[in-house]
Structure 1
């Protein structure tokens, strides 16, 4: 899957609903406090709610209610997915696509508590007719009961396949009365379906510019956490098999226990049902770090060194992704790559970003307030964030946008080195930099 766009409403400076489109490479440029980081942090809240969490204070002071809304729209969808059973299906057959044929997921945060929790919806053209509108909420037994109640022949569906039963029920009526619906997917059986669907979403990795200085500095540990996360995804089939085997063996033990209980209290035993509730969190079991051989914490080596490690993480990711065929999409979001880096390193990093974005199954999102970095990127990737009467405005798609960036932020000449001084024009033996035409490279 690829991130097509985001809609932000009532979140910090974005009070009105604002839609922002993404490319394989997207760069947000603007002054300080224009709202660049807000977009990246809204994405972090949507995907992870970890590095940045939604807080009551995030509600825009100009909001028209008490709810923060963050909606992500995805395209390049998989042809086949597995949701609530082992049977394959697809999003179109489950009526989970919006009118444009994209997957639209909306998360709403009620800003009435200090740490609002999301309510998750899929915005889609979904059946609205009675008996047919809530099939995703029904468990297998309920679906089979409904199929029998509708007198559907048992040979037109597979009784152990929820997608098959849903398809048979939906196909039994001529007009499903499809309506644009906000389908809540974090309750009842629909939650299991959404939990499965989440596995197909891109990994979102945010690398911030303003980081705390700790021994486990995130500038070093975050890439390593991402490495563990990606490794687990590549082993997902084996891990799912292990989880299923553990689940079945544990349930079998519970069932044997209940069989013995029947001998002593059959009424009590018949009221008990084994249920496997806890999903293992493998990513919390594995920790990877990079330590200095002289026992000096990496974070004590200076922000430039830490950023160099991060820079070369991205360069290594380019080489790995070019050499491996991986279907898992990753979104790398990087704030201010110019921070603490030599201009040459910035150029190398920009090239790595472009290689990732255009040659692998990845997307890259950048922020900067340095127009010189923006000039290294394709014009279609630029997003200029500015304020208009207090509202955030995101501009893109026209050549005039880059001119506006230059007019607003200005562009400084390249940094002058000591070596350059010896190449300035001289008058009476004195170097005169004011005589240099900066439109011509020295």
Structure 2
């Protein structure tokens, strides 16, 4: 499940209830000490009070409780709730109707209350639809005797057929029908989570701004969990056997180090080795985990703590790329405080790309002062933090999006991302850097022309803050503007609003800026030629891949076949002119030809 919204009350700088909407990748911006970190710590404590416990200073008012209220969403919400509850309530007894009382517009709403410092929640509740009349309230938690009294007092007729009077859910069903007929109002009420729905919540990892392994307790626990589990399963009788186990542990940890090293080498070519070596004291299970680097000129690996903070951040960039691979299919919330700290702007871009990849299957919330990070986030995914007697949070709605973007500009000083060159009479906005490279390749193959010879191609054509600013800026510039977007039709089942948003973006662009075009297929990868994929990935058999449809969601298919997004440019580069003509719709070819002519 993913967090759609968190409401915070009486926590740190927040006195009265403050709501914060959350997306797959959200940015919290604001001045120092405005309360950005409150959001991260509130989410961490809500999801895992054991590791992110509450202390006295966390209470805004020590005499009142801290309350976190979170709205969760999931593409298969009813199915996962059913799997959790069906052991207690059978389908035949009215499980479907019972589940509907938990679901509010495709979400569930959960509340955790903390009245004193420590690692334990005082109260855990879930919102349920219920009647506001005391006689008909809490029906699911009344005894059979209490239900029978309501039936008798109101002369409610229950059919004898089927379960009839023997089914509690059956009784509740007919009592509810009677109460609705009578005009009793329904409202939302929080009830104790006796079904342990909280076990469905995602895991959480928090990375503070002074990131280092000494602060990253989750790195330590996650890295040694498999070691501890393995150790607990094995005998402790023989020293020789323990040495074998130690060797296996060290080999496993070094495999992880080697993977991270391969990513980290992209940013520092002199890196020779990354060493992750557990310090094992069997009586203590695992004592510690050390990370060491060996660069050119180093006789031995040197502890990361002896390196500068910039290297720690580079390690974080590499580690997030590693996590993106390792945790595919898992549901984890990553909370990151000021990821740009100590990073060169180019490394910020690398980390941002790693976080975007990670957010495809997980959820990420960052605090930032960086235009690079905030600018790459959709306006609806930016939370502006201010102090107004208490910490308050502002966010965009469809009606306020334009005004809100300029508030972000005032806060962070975001400016157009690219300088204009007078030789360009046309500007083409595309969604990302890979799209810019791919369309350049396509034009070279189709027309034997360099797209960028006369056209400025800007990878800011999505719905990010950056693209909003750039397009608004360039509108006043007298250039001919073009926009080329994915249709996202393949996302219609997982996210029905996304194709509509893309289509509306094209309509708005055509009305206000220039000429826009949305692909017929879901995205550029939908235009891979099947035969090229089969040649590119040797393990695929001839004619194993089909031509992709317009509204086909390829995420699971690509995962199953081992087709990786990072290979997209090389795949397109392997395609011939004839193959492009076979997969591209004529309207797209005409659109590109108009731009390049």
TM over 0.5: yes
* Structure 1 equivalent of residue 72 of structure 2: 74
Q: Is the 8 A contact 1:73 1:102 kept in 2?
A: yes
Aligned pair 1:167/2:169, yes or no?
Answer: yes
**Which residue number in structure 1 is paired with residue 316 of structure 2?**
310
Q: What are the ranges of 5 or more consecutive residues in structure 2 without an aligned counterpart?
A: 152-157, 228-284, 294-299, 418-472, 474-597
What is the aligned partner in structure 2 of residue 102 from structure 1? 107
Between 84-93 and 173-182, the greater mean CA deviation after superposition: 84-93
What is the match of residue 84 of structure 2?
83
Q: Distance in 1 between matches of 2:168 and 2:366?
A: 42
- Report the alpha carbon displacement of residue 24 of structure 1 after superposing the two structures with TM: 1.8
Instruction: Tell me the equivalent position of 1:402.
Output: 405
Local SS of the residue matching 1:79: helix
Comparing 338-347 and 121-130, the one that deviates more: 121-130
Query: TM-score scaled by structure 1?
Result: 0.62
Question: Residues 74-223 of structure 1 correspond to what in structure 2 (within 5 A)?
Answer: 74-76=72-74, 77-80=76-79, 81-84=82-85, 86=87, 93-94=98-99, 96-97=101-102, 99-111=104-116, 117-126=121-130, 133-134=137-138, 155-156=162-163, 166-173=168-175, 174-175=177-178, 179-185=186-192, 190=194, 193=195, 195=196, 197-211=197-211, 214=214, 217-218=216-217, 220-221=219-220
Please report how far the alpha carbon of residue 288 of structure 1 lies from its aligned counterpart in structure 2 after TM superposition: 10
Using the TM superposition, name which of 94-103 and 378-387 deviates more. Answer: 94-103
CA distance in 2, matches of 1:383, 1:225: 35
1:426 aligns to what?
none
The 8 Å contact of residues 112 and 121 in structure 2, kept in 1 or not, is answered as no
Task: Note if contact 1:8-1:69 (Cα within 8 Å) is conserved in structure 2.
Answer: yes
Deviation at 1:339, TM superposition (A): 1.8
State the 1:364 CA deviation: 1.6
1:133–1:297 CA distance, 2 compared to 1 (3 A): farther
The question of whether the paired residues in 2 share the 8 Å contact of 1:36 and 1:385 is answered with yes
Higher helix share: 2
Cα distance change on mapping 1:412 and 1:304 into 2, 3 Å: farther
- From the superposition, tell whether residues 224 and 213 of structure 1 become closer, same or farther in structure 2 (CA, over 3 Å): closer
RMSD: 4.1
Q: Distance in 2 between matches of 1:378 and 1:401?
A: 12
Task: Write out the 4+ residue segments of structure 1 that deviate beyond 6 Å after TM superposition.
Answer: 87-91, 128-132, 145-154, 225-228, 285-288
Which deviations, in whole Å up to 9, do the C-alpha atoms of 1:53-94 show, x marking residues without a partner?
223322225x9x612211001122522223355367668624
Please give the alpha-carbon distance, in whole angstroms, between the structure 1 residues aligned to 2:163 and 2:392. 54
Question: Which is bigger in relative contact order (C-alpha 8 A, separation at least 6)?
Answer: 1
Rounded to whole Å, the distance in 2 between the matches of 1:48 and 1:114 is 12
After superposition, the Cα gap between the structure-2 partners of 1:184 and 1:32, relative to the gap in structure 1 and judged at 3 Å, is: same
- Kindly provide the CA deviation profile for residues 283-308 of structure 1, in whole angstroms up to 9, marking residues without a partner as x: xx999956448675544444333333
Shift of 1:123: 2.0
Could you tell me whether the CA contact under 8 Å between 1:98 and 1:180 is conserved in 2? no
Q: Which residue matches 2:24?
A: 24
Give the TM-score of the pair, scaled to structure 2.
0.47
CA distance 1:103–1:55, change in 2 (3 Å): same
Could you tell me how far apart the structure 1 residues matched to 2:187 and 2:414 are? 47
In the alignment, which of 336, 340, 343 is matched to residue 338 of structure 1?
A: 340
Contact 1:219/1:307, CA 8 A, preserved across alignment: no
Between the aligned partners of 2:97 and 2:209, the Cα distance in structure 1 is 40
Measured in 1, the distance between the counterparts of 2:200 and 2:90 equals: 14
SS in 1 for 2:323: helix
Q: Deviations over 1:107-153 (max 9, x none)?
A: 12225x67774311212213567797556658xxx77x889998986
Distance in 2 of aligned mates of 1:219 and 1:98: 32
Superposed CA deviations along residues 294-353 of structure 1, whole A, max 9, x for unmatched, are 6755444443333333322321333456xx5x3x43222211111232222210111122
CA distance in 1, matches of 2:16, 2:226: 37
For residue 54 of structure 2, what is the aligned residue in structure 1? 54
* Distance change (3 Å), C-alpha of 1:99 and 1:106: same
Asked if structure 1 preserves the Cα contact closer than 8 Å seen for 2:203 and 2:331, the reply is: yes
Q: Is the 8 A contact 2:34 2:391 kept in 1?
A: no
CA 1:408–1:147: 2 relative to 1, 3 Å:
closer
Asked if 2 retains the 8 angstrom alpha-carbon contact of 1:223 and 1:310, the reply is no
Q: What are the superposed Cα offsets for residues 197-245 of structure 1, whole Å, 9 maximum, x if unpaired?
A: 123222222222235763x8537436647999xxxxxxxxxxxxxxxxx
Q: Give deviations 1:256-298, integer Å, cap 9, x for gaps.
A: xxxxxxxxxxxxxxxxxxxxxxxxxxxxx99995644867554
Structure 1 gap ranges (5+): 160-164, 229-284, 415-438
Structure 1, 376-385 or 93-102: larger mean CA deviation: 93-102
Distance 1:50 1:74, change over 3 A: same
Q: Show the counterpart of 1:350.
A: 352
